[in-house]
Amino acid sequence: MSAADIAAIFQGAIVTITLSAIGILIGLPIGLGLALIRWADVPVLGRIVALYVSMLRATPLVTLLLLLFFALPNIGVPMSPVSAAILGLVMSTSAFNCEVWRSALMNFPKDQYEAAQSVGMNAGQRFRRIVLPQIVPVSLPGLVNEMSLLIKVTPVLAVVGVVDITRAAVRIGAQTYEPLPPFLVAIAIYVPIVFALVSLQRWIERRQTRAEALA
């Protein structure tokens, strides 16, 4: 394995990280939106969201990606590997995020919401100024956990042809007939990223339990 090969894997890493970041950034607000629809118990739409979340949580990302990549062009929606990857990541992670947000919303003390109503705040103000600032810290560990899970499934993007870490590693393995070294390099890139997120999650949880203990 040459230095150029390692450089190729790192180039793949940039693709992986970029796609993950896009997935996370789009998935967070969509997840919140889905959670709000369920929380507000919007008729029909709430049921649809519940089914969507249940189904997406059960669907392996590979299967979802293959479905998007092959089936959407069939009905006239052009799909590049990258757009299929982003769509798949967003769909999957938003379903998981929805559950994290929703459990924070369900546990939100009702009397606070009523107090905001009683001082005349409108729905938007109540949500932005009272609810959101409190559910964000509660949801944070779960959301970070979901981020690390998302990063861990990104190797599957290679299946639809995205030239990410994994595809670069597979290609080098096939060229050199030495698959082990490129895979080890790939793992060496993944481990610190996931480890950092896992540590971040533990740190947030520890800080919050300490803050609760002091309160």
Partner 1 sequence: MIHDFGIVWSERSLLLSGLANTAILSALSAIAALLLGFLVTPALMSKRPAIFGLARLFVDGMRCVPFLLFAYIIYYGLPSLGLRLDNWSSGLAALIIYNTAYMAEILRGAWAVQPREPIEAGIAFGFSELKLFRRIILPPLLLSAGPVIGNQMIQIVKDSAFLTIIALPELTHAASSIQSRHYIPFAAFITAVFLYWGLCLVIEAGISSIGRVAEARR
DSSP letters of 77-116? Answer: ----HHHHHHHHHHHHHHHHHHHHHHHHHHTS-HHHHHHH
- CB 113, CB 74: distance < 8 Å: no
Of 36-44, 108-116, 118-126, 182-190, the segment contacting partner 1 by CB under 8 A is 182-190
Residue 9 structure tokens? 């894997």
Query: Judged by CB under 8 A, which of 138, 198, 200, 204 binds partner 1?
Result: 198
Residue ranges in 14-73 that form contacts with partner 1 under rule CB under 8 A:
54-55, 57-64, 66-67, 70-71
Distance CA 194, CA 186 (A): 13
Note whether 156 binds partner 1 by CB under 8 A: yes
- CB 97, CB 27: distance < 8 Å: yes
Query: Judged by CB under 8 A, which of 22, 170, 200, 204 binds partner 1?
Result: 170
Residue ranges in 76-115 that form contacts with partner 1 under rule CB under 8 A:
none
Of 25-33, 98-106, 119-127, 152-160, the segment contacting partner 1 by CB under 8 A is 152-160
Distance CA 112, CA 123 (A): 13
Query: Judged by CB under 8 A, which of 137, 191, 207, 211 binds partner 1?
Result: 191
Distance CA 102, CA 112 (A): 17
Residues that bind partner 1 in the complex, under the rule CB under 8 A: 54-55, 57-64, 66-67, 70-71, 74-75, 151-156, 159, 166, 169-170, 173, 178-180, 183-184, 186-187, 190-191, 194-195, 198
